[in-house]
Chains A and B, each alone.
Chain A
Amino acid sequence: SAVISQKPSRDICQRGTSLTIQCQVDSQVTMMFWYRQQPGQSLTLIATANQGSEATYESGFVIDKFPISRPNLTFSTLTVSNMSPEDSSIYLCSVIDPLGGYTFGSGTRLTVV
């Protein structure tokens, strides 16, 4: 199955700053997905990233706050901009696995202080 390398694994950031999260997949994939998981909660889809086009954002998420890059079929970044304590969450990238289901990166645990 697909293997995803996600960085950083965790970070503590000052409010008002930005953090960029990277995901590298060991195979070419058409779509990459970015999720947020707030403490003790389920996963919420932020956006779907396709190579060569703008990401598609879910209701409640906007490009200015969560800009996404998808420069090729194996890599994507999510930036959390102008952070506030409410952005403290785990952020995960995901791809559809050809063997079944979705495969997730190991997650980025973000704390905003």
Chain B
Amino acid sequence: GQSLEQPSEVTAVEGAIVQINCTYQTSGFYGLSWYQQHDGGAPTFLSYNGLDGLEETGRFSSFLSRSDSYGYLLLQELQMKDSASYFCASAGNKLTFGGGTRVLVKP
């Protein structure tokens, strides 16, 4: 089976940096993905780490350490529009999601 753990909620102010951690226990693990979901919307793909290390995509970066079964999503220069839920997901023969982290950005 697969399980992914992430914090339920994070609050930060505009311009700040937020790190969302994700620890996982999976079999057949190929990599870690991150998705963003605004209220009422569908999840949208943010990033994928198939190898250890840091992947940077604009203000968002994602990191994976297979030896530690751990990854994180880093949100920099937070904006109000970043208020959303963020899910880590393990990519194997199917996508399994963590519980989600609700990020609230305050002015």
Instruction: Choose the segment among B21-29, B38-46, B69-77 that binds chain A (4+ C-beta atoms closer than 8 Å).
Output: B38-46
Q: Does B96 contact A (CB under 8 A)?
A: yes
- Secondary structure call for the B interface: strand
Is A45's CB under 8 angstroms from B95's CB?
A: yes
Is B95's CB under 8 angstroms from A42's CB?
A: no
Whole-angstrom distance between the alpha carbons of A94 and B87 in the complex?
A: 15
Is A100's CB under 8 angstroms from B95's CB?
A: no
Whole-angstrom distance between the alpha carbons of A92 and B48 in the complex?
A: 21
Whole-angstrom distance between the alpha carbons of A71 and B105 in the complex?
A: 44
Whole-angstrom distance between the alpha carbons of A104 and B37 in the complex?
A: 11
Q: A101-B33, A103-B45, A107-B42 are contacts. A42–B94 as well, Cβ < 8 Å?
A: no
Q: What mask results when residues 65 to 82 of chain A are scored 1 for a CB within 8 Å of chain B, else 0?
A: 000000000000000000
Q: What mask results when residues 93 to 110 of chain A are scored 1 for a CB within 8 Å of chain B, else 0?
A: 010010011111111000
Is A102's CB under 8 angstroms from B45's CB?
A: yes
Interface residues on B, range: 10 to 19
Whole-angstrom distance between the alpha carbons of A103 and B24 in the complex?
A: 22
Q: What mask results when residues 1 to 43 of chain B are scored 1 for a CB within 8 Å of chain A, else 0?
A: 0000000000000000000000000000000010100000111
> Which residues of chain A come closer than 8 Å to B98, judged between CB atoms?
42
> Which residues of chain B come closer than 8 Å to A48, judged between CB atoms?
94
Q: A42-B87, A42-B99 are contacts. A101–B94 as well, Cβ < 8 Å?
A: no
Closest chain B residue to A47 by CB distance?
B94
> Which residues of chain B come closer than 8 Å to A92, judged between CB atoms?
42-43
Whole-angstrom distance between the alpha carbons of A102 and B43 in the complex?
A: 9
Is B95's CB under 8 angstroms from A94's CB?
A: yes
> Which residues of chain B come closer than 8 Å to A103, judged between CB atoms?
45
> Which residues of chain A come closer than 8 Å to B41, judged between CB atoms?
106-107
Whole-angstrom distance between the alpha carbons of A42 and B44 in the complex?
A: 14
Whole-angstrom distance between the alpha carbons of A55 and B100 in the complex?
A: 27
Q: Does B97 contact A (CB under 8 A)?
A: yes
Whole-angstrom distance between the alpha carbons of A33 and B42 in the complex?
A: 14
